Structure 1
Amino acid sequence: MSVLTDVQQMEEDLRHRSEKLNVEFKAWMDISKSNKDGQAKIARHIAAIANYGGGRLYFGVDDDGNPEPLSEAFGPEHYRSDATHNLLKTRLGPALQCEVHFTEFTNGVTYPVVHIPSHGATPIGAKDENSFMHVYVRSIGPESVKVSNYQQWDIILKRCMRFRDVEAVQTREEDDLTRTQAMTKAITESVTASVLKILAENMGLAPAAGQDVDWTTIAALTEGARQEFVRQINAFDFGTTETDQQVREIADKHVAAGYALLGAESNFLTLERPHRLLREASEEMDKVASFGWHDFIVLTNSDVSPRTRLWFIDGKDITGVEGMRVDAKTIYFGEYDYWRAYGNSVFVTTRAGLFYVRSYPASLK
């Protein structure tokens, strides 16, 4: 569904010449601190719309949905964001962050529009003119009324519980991610310590890499994988959602890391059957890490499984194994990433931004 502009949204809301449960019309009116009745009325409507699930409140529109001429007494500056937010801060509980848009309508008049989000895990209350707090809901009319029967409580509390369920799932995911990161760190430190111990006891520490390392080849192979990663991102059919825009930025905001296994003379080691080696490593890592091995993970699904490839890079034919191509994925495990394991033991990972496991639209398949 396409996103409407502010003007298109206002035209849609005014089209039927009547209010809806998620839309309230108000004539130009005083919402300053000196008008407690006016502030209480606006707070009541905003709380009720939030408890309904969110919506909009228009100033300068009569009850029949007719936009009024510009008011000399209450111009748009009277409804500026800081004045509206002060009203919300003193009259609503818990706090609710609304956005005030100033929409220049087709008649040339600018109208303040308060965009109201949904309540969260608890209902939104509003103080009346005597500063007593009440919970309001939208009712047929439409109008904003105090909760007065169990059916009204049932509807709003069920919606609040759904928010709490979402928060609980997010908390569990964050806890799982934290535990996985801690486990991965512990495994990495343990493996590193074991390898260094074996080297020290049996072979002596490996010589430090000097100027004889072929950094030019490592850099070229790293850049080759990075350019392919960017090409895959740019090939996406981007939409207009916030997630689409985040993915679009990956072409400019990502990181590539390349490293190699070197022999005693700082020469590249040849990988025999790299695909089999990666699969065995992935299977072993899966036994000790519940979230799997992030780098060079080998899946069994033939549609996305890594495969052997031949590349021409830096004037040389290079063979190796290519990871899951980004533009072939429908499920992302932790990150958007792409990797290569070259036959000369150079390994490259390219990735961007941490994401929770999620499905991406069919346009990216």
Structure 2
Amino acid sequence: MTVTTFTDSFRDPDAARALAEAIRARSTRPIRLMEFCGGHTHAILRYGIPSLLPETIDLRSGPGCPVCVTSATDLDRAITLAQVPRAILTTFGDMVRVPGSRASLSQAKAQGADVRVVYSPLDALQIARQNPDRPVIFLGVGFETTAPMVASAVVAAETEGVGNFYVFSTHKLTPPATRAILDAGEVALDGIIGPGHVTTVIGSEAWRFLPDDYTIPVAIAGFEPLDILRAILALVEMIEEGKPDVANAYARSVRPEGNPAAQQVMERVFEIADADWRGFGTVPASGLRLREEYARFDAGRAFPVEVEPAREPPGCRCGEILRGVLRPPDCPLFARACTPEHPVGPCMVSAEGACAAYYRYGNLERRTAHVEREM
């Protein structure tokens, strides 16, 4: 007996071939599309979507990997916070292995720091309840998807009077980063594959600025192959017709207004601030910091630490990859000095990193052939 699952309907080979044929029939000129989300990059390579597309379509990865865009300075500060006497630093698993300027959280743990991996900020709050005499710091990393969960943990800590729970917020907002890429003009883009999880929170209308201000279409996509192919077809059709708009190819999750409850708790706890992005520098109004009324939960204020000027790994081209200027195989360290076992940059560490995706799912012999010729 064949057992079908909910996702099977979004992985149907015949439907995928039909969508690919429609894309090939509709695409008449070279275009470059960027998938903002790292989850999309992994899905695109995992399911072999580039092999289904015509040569007219060039796909570029964007900065949608929150671990990857966390600046070296912020990571160095988190490592220093982990060394605060009796502190417990909690974070998501990928962050532990990301190299800082001089060490990683994993190395700090090996040297005696109490660094713990959690799956939710509520896990960190529980650790704070269990250790009332120790400061528990949650390293908040992520976009609009994870920020509401962190905000909820802060509200719960306030309600319960948990006084030893702190957040070091490096949360970032996705639309300002997209603006930064387009304003920089380093890579010409014809369309954006919008992030599905983020847009479930902020709503598809949050991307209205792309057609209105930049005359660039955006199609919100889910993470199954048919979701992505439908989004690409929508982008091709809008580009061919010269009618940029916001298309929602992930309607089973995304609404125009987003998730009001998630937005409200996020806005209650956080306020918008400038933020440092790896590969971008400071992007105005692109980050989230705790509001003044929640300042007592701010790890940066409770434990003001000094860090030395940050250093990027020599030869690492992660910043240019995050901006879509280069692909992972364009980095001379890719699959040589930099591998998942021995990562040099964060794009090879994170489960959403473009380099990790290319390494895991790409044809390494084909994708690194041009690098071999240059070395």
Both structures adopt the same fold (TM-score exceeding 0.5): no
Name the structure with the higher helix share.
2
Please identify the structure whose Cα radius of gyration is greater.
1
Shorter-chain-normalised TM-score: which range? under 0.3
Q: Which has the higher contact order (CA 8 A, sep 6+)?
A: 2
